[in-house]
Chains A and B, each alone.
Chain A
């Protein structure tokens, strides 16, 4: 099976055509898994090894983060955490205590005054160094997918979820203003990456739903979140870039909105609460689906079970294009490496077009 990176493979799938094989696709594979694959340690700063991993493992792109928050360790490794630690808590005795700055524990914008004094200017200083470094490392056919977004997640994290949710009804203007500021910064990042010809897509990573449905009403998403993503999708399409979204949870009540806003690809079709076959039947002609191999299976299953799962998945949703094999979220370090390999190898073994049922 052809392992040569070819971003056109992915583009063809998104056009609902059948390329040579079903593409592999992940928004995040943690460094220890990459290291096991390459047989040597891979670190956050070792971009050469990261590119080598994604290319040799059969992916057509490498995902690189631009924005205030990265997927995975969302608050620990993100620029927004650095800004909070280095400015807001600079003189505080609590600055060494992660409960004082980590947005998983705390929040900073409760009032209009908090909003006004938040260091937005510093938060908007995004780091593009990896994007500049990577262009000389990419093998032929491989592109970068810029991981961005988190407009919704970052807004509620800055405000604290309960406070955000209640303010959405009781102080809607404050919420709208925080959304605007966060989106403005993400758009600055977007404008810079749209000028980079080796970027093939933008991947917004923003969890919109719990397992039992959307975190806020579809109406509230329509008022405050989707207009930003509609604009982002339009800017991407103007530059011939694809527009991806990652969201956990059951987003069935939001599917029409997501399609209407110009989404090309949805990942990971959360297997804990969504039926990918049903999603494919209902929306598969308008949207490409990625993922759905359960993380619990990758953690605790046997490689043979993973292989069978991927084989069935490909048979059910890959014919005609519009599907890429991937995990049900991302590939964390606690995934069993043999199961990651089984997922990947099954995709290569059973994913050649035309699909044999």
Chain B
């Protein structure tokens, strides 16, 4: 791998937010392929960050700063990209379900999805099934991510899936679920398309669900 890209990758993993802009600008000036900077530098770095978070090697603050560093680097390149090269991997709607105001986990997933190259629409907290269906019809994302912290709000996830079925739209959206009380068994039981145990897994799941790398 090109040394400049390697340095960019290392800077994101280490959260060197003050250095990233200079490193990316240098790489651009040296005419390194922009897509290589994004895919092999910035996005690969976030894959490493996701894995380190998953194994407990780093914690939320380090992950968030890495994601912010990645975004600063990306901001240097984005204006230079044209056409398909600047297209996101896909669009994901994220929210917590009705009755649940706890958004820490959802926000972490959003940061990681953005870091991985997705366009993310954050609908916030406490979303009813009906409103979600309306939003999905309007925005047409590939993936819907539902988060719940409370055992009492978990059943709302099932209601959301039922609402899509009732409107005949279940086939047009992939639904992933997560949050402290949720597990893969629950996800399968309610008919979700997948479960992510943490932000890193959620990114891998979103990629898998829409068939991108």
Contact = CB atoms under 8 A, between A and B. Distances in A.
Interface of A: 104-105, 161-162, 165-166, 168-170, 210-217, 220, 253, 272, 295-296, 299, 334
Contacts of A295: 151
Interface in B76-95: none
B180 A170 contact: no
Given A170-B65, A295-B151, A214 B59 contact: yes
A211 B198 CA distance: 10
A272 B181 contact: yes
Given A104-B101, A170-B17, A170-B65, A212 B60 contact: no
Nearest to B183: A272
B115 interface: no
B64 A165 contact: yes
Nearest to A156: B104
Contact of A272 (B61, B125, B180): B180
Contacts of B197: 212
User: From DSSP, what is the main secondary structure of chain B's interface residues?
Assistant: loop
A169 B101 contact: no
A296 B154 CA distance: 12
B151 A296 contact: yes
B61 A166 contact: yes
25 contacts: A104-B101, A105-B125, A162-B64, A162-B104, A162-B111, A166-B61, A166-B64, A169-B15, A169-B62, A210-B105, A210-B180, A212-B197, A213-B56, A213-B59, A216-B60, A216-B61, A217-B59, A217-B61, A253-B56, A272-B181, A296-B151, A296-B181, A299-B151, A299-B152, A334-B152
Nearest to A299: B151
B61 A165 contact: yes
A166 B68 CA distance: 9
Interface string B33-69: 0000000000000000000000010111110110010
A217 B62 contact: yes
Contacts, number: 54
B18 to A, nearest CB: 9
B107 interface: yes
Contacts of B62: 169, 217
Nearest to A212: B198
Given A212-B197, A296-B151, A162 B181 contact: no
A263 B102 CA distance: 28
Interface centre among A161, A220, A295 (most CB of B within 10 A): A161
Contacts of A169: 15, 61-62, 65
Interface string B190-206: 00000001100000000
A309 B152 CA distance: 21
Given A104-B101, A166-B65, 5 more contacts: A169-B61, A212-B197, A213-B59, A215-B59, A216-B61
B68 to A, nearest CB: 6
B15 A216 contact: no
Contacts of B64: 162, 165-166
Contacts of B101: 104-105
Contacts of B59: 213-217, 220
Contacts of B125: 105
A334 B155 CA distance: 14
A81 to B, nearest CB: 14
A334 B150 CA distance: 12
Contact of B107 (A161, A214, A253): A161
Contacts of A165: 60-61, 64
A214 B62 CA distance: 13
Interface string B143-171: 00000000110000000000000000000
Contacts of B15: 169
Nearest to B101: A104
B21 to A, nearest CB: 15
Contacts of B105: 210
Nearest to A215: B60
Contacts of B65: 166, 169-170
Interface string B4-42: 000000000001010000000000000000000000000
A177 B105 CA distance: 26
Nearest to A102: B101
Nearest to A165: B61
